[in-house]
């Protein structure tokens, strides 16, 4: 029967010495909300996974460490319930000092006693040393291209990272790969004693080396010392994973941002494998920025001879496409249509329309982006909308430093450096708040067509306060405002302010600053542009081709 563990400082090799196979917890709790009464709603998804696996009887024996408050709480609940065959909570030091090694040594000796009683077995130094060597070998054998740090990552996240970054990714999270130094030479020479005494002596000698070997692994985010990133970690791209409600990552993350880490991307999950669309886009955009900085954009070389390029942006609401002359980067043709229920139909129709605009006998390379980009994966190069928007925005406004894109069902802010490289980006694709859909729905409630809606917004001097960001609640707020005889223009202007507010918070999350370029269909709504300029206290540029920005970027990257 295996014993499970949830922390990389758990004594896996000591357990091997008692013939126990130790396994990391990788289960995903399917009904996390049901556990909240027992533990607390504001507890990280990993802690819920551990608790759920124990309560469903999938785990019968568990070793926890006092690594964080979430795990302490899991330990408390399990101890109270008393349903596990074996539960041990190890008191884990949070510094790498001689005193801490001594303390952990004593703790491991206590643990060994409990383990021996539970397993009814004696310690084998040979088995513990073999397991330690094995751990060391495993850590040495792979040439990692990137590092995943921060909070516990589900195996599915690690797989997604490997697949997207197209390299091996080292799991250096708090529950990740364990890295041990070589066992002390002296441990291999047995002093000859009476059998019983020797077993005890073996255990004490092993633990005296092992406590320090465990604690001097590359520090996890919970270690108070050392906080500085390992030099090797800063040479490779780092994905920094955080879990909602985890309180420890900001300390380590701050150190990483201060270090000269090659490239850093922060991602957050709930410790489940339901990777959001946003997570996939974030990882893909990160990989594209790594490729761009190393000058290895795939497909570029063999396509350079083709004079024309088509960029297609299949948005959730509208599909846009442009044909460009690659000699001049001028747009020769544009096409737009509603995406509708079948993104594939829209993308193929757009492509046909733009190919028909090609001069006779000419060919074009094609690149697709947007939420429906994969519908063209057989014919086009595929690039995320983040990379395409950044590229297109630089073409529309060369000194742009922050792109604000508001489309039909999502919005994003992308901060660029002076060379146009993506510094940071954030997307809102969880709800319609602050998007074109929010404005379209509310204009229907007000029975105004698009033009009248924008005109009304621009004519108001006293925007009404719309406090609900949610489309459904905003609708009922509008009905109340109408009943109170609030002028329609003030209501519309209030809606623009509400969209501007939501967008400004995205901008501040990426530390975006002027020059701003507003892209996406909503940039045609001058009432929103005005409100945004007021909120950001800066000029917000738009372009007649703002809605084609993603498509233009795709064409430039084809």
Q: Tell me if residue 240 falls in helix, strand or coil.
A: strand
Residue of 93, 372, 407, 457 that binds ligand ADP (CB under 6 A):
407
- Residue 112 binds ligand ADP (CB under 6 A): no
Contact map string, positions 437 to 466, toward ligand ADP, x by CB under 6 A: x-xx---------x----------------
- Residue 493 binds ligand ADP (CB under 6 A): no
Sign of CA dihedral 136, 137, 143, 149: negative
- Residue 163 binds ligand ADP (CB under 6 A): no
- Residue 434 binds ligand ADP (CB under 6 A): no
> Looking at beta carbons only, is 289 or 319 nearer to ligand ADP?
319
Kindly report the three-state secondary structure assignment for every residue of 289-337: HHHHHHCCCCCHHHHCCCCEEEEEEECCCEEEEEEEECCCCEEEEEEEE
Site stretch for ligand ADP (CB under 6 A), options 77-85, 194-202, 248-256, 316-324: 316-324
- Residue 408 binds ligand ADP (CB under 6 A): yes
Q: Of how many residues is the chain composed?
A: 558
| Nearest-angstrom CA–CA distance, 101 and 22 | 22
> Looking at beta carbons only, is 65 or 435 nearer to ligand ADP?
435
Least distance in angstroms from the C-beta of 502 to ligand ADP: 14
Contact map string, positions 529 to 548, toward ligand ADP, x by CB under 6 A: ------------------x-
- Residue 318 binds ligand ADP (CB under 6 A): yes
> Looking at beta carbons only, is 237 or 407 nearer to ligand ADP?
407
Which element (helix H / strand E) includes 347? helix 343-356
Residue of 321, 457, 463, 521 that binds ligand ADP (CB under 6 A):
521
Q: Which two tokens stand for residue 239?
A: 């994905």
- Residue 157 binds ligand ADP (CB under 6 A): no
Kindly report the three-state secondary structure assignment for every residue of 28-59: CCCCHHHHCCCCCCCCCHHHHHHHHHHHCCCC
Write the DSSP string, 9-20.
TS-HHHHHHTTP
Site stretch for ligand ADP (CB under 6 A), options 111-119, 251-259, 311-319, 506-514: 311-319
Upper half-sphere CA count for residue 6 (Cβ side, 13 Å)? 33
Number of residues that bind ligand ADP (CB under 6 A): 19
For the chain, how far is it from start to end, CA to CA, in angstroms?
55
Q: Tell me if residue 487 falls in helix, strand or coil.
A: coil
- Residue 409 binds ligand ADP (CB under 6 A): yes
Sites of contact with ligand ADP (CB under 6 A): 315-318, 407-410, 436-437, 439-440, 450, 520-522, 524-525, 547
């Amino acid at each position: 029967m295996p014993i499970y563990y949830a922390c990389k400082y758990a004594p896996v090799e000591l357990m091997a010495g008692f013939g126990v196979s130790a396994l990391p917890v990788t289960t995903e709790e399917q009904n996390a909300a049901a556990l909240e009464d027992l533990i607390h709603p504001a507890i990280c998804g990993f802690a819920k996974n551990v608790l759920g696996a124990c309560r469903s009887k999938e785990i019968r024996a568990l070793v926890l460490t006092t690594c964080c408050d979430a795990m302490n709480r899991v330990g408390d609940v399990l101890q109270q319930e008393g349903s596990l065959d074996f539960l041990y909570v190890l008191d884990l030091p949070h510094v790498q000092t001689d005193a801490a090694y001594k303390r952990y040594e004593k703790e491991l000796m206590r643990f060994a006693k409990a383990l021996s009683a539970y397993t009814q077995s004696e310690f084998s130094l040979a088995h513990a040393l073999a397991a330690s060597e094995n751990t060391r070998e495993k850590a040495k054998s792979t040439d990692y291209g990137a590092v995943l740090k921060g909070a516990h990552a589900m195996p599915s996240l690690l797989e997604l990272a490997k697949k997207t970054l197209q390299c091996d990714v080292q799991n250096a999270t708090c529950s990740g790969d364990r890295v041990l130094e070589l066992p002390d030479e002296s441990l291999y020479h047995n002093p000859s004693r009476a059998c019983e005494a020797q077993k005890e002596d073996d255990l004490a000698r092993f633990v005296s080396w092992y406590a320090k070997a465990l604690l001097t692994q590359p520090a996890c985010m919970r270690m108070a010392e050392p906080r500085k990133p390992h030099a090797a970690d800063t040479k490779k791209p780092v994905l920094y994973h955080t879990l909602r409600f985890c309180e420890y990552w900001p300390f380590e993350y701050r150190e990483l941002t201060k270090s000269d880490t090659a490239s850093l991307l922060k991602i957050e999950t709930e410790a489940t494998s339901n990777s959001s669309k946003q997570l996939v886009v974030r990882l893909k955009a990160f990989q594209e920025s790594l490729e761009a900085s190393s000058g290895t954009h795939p497909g570029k070389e063999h396509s350079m001879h083709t004079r024309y390029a088509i960029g297609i942006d299949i948005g959730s609401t509208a599909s846009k496409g442009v044909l460009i002359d690659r000699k001049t980067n001028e747009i020769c043709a544009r096409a737009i249509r509603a995406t509708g229920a079948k993104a594939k139909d829209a993308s193929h129709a757009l492509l046909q329309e733009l190919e028909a605009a090609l001069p006779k006998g000419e060919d074009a390379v094609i690149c697709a982006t947007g939420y429906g980009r994969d519908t063209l994966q057989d014919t086009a190069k595929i690039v995320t909308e983040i990379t395409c928007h950044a590229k297109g925005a630089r073409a529309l406004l060369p000194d742009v430093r922050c792109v604000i894109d508001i489309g039909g069902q999502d919005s994003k802010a992308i901060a660029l450096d002076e060379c146009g490289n993506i510094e940071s980006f954030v997307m809102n694709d969880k709800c319609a708040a602050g998007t074109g859909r929010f404005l379209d729905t509310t204009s229907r409630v007000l029975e105004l067509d698009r033009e009248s809606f924008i005109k009304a917004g621009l004519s108001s001097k006293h925007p009404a306060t719309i406090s609900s960001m949610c489309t459904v609640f905003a609708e009922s707020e509008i009905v109340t405002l109408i009943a109170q005889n609030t002028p329609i223009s003030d209501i519309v202007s209030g809606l623009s302010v509400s969209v501007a507010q939501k967008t400004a918070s995205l901008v501040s999350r990426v530390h975006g600053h002027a020059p701003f370029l507003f892209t996406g269909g909503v940039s045609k709504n001058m009432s929103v542009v005005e409100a945004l300029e007021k909120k950001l206290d800066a000029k917000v540029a738009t372009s007649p081709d703002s809605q084609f920005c993603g498509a233009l970027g795709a064409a430039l990257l084809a």
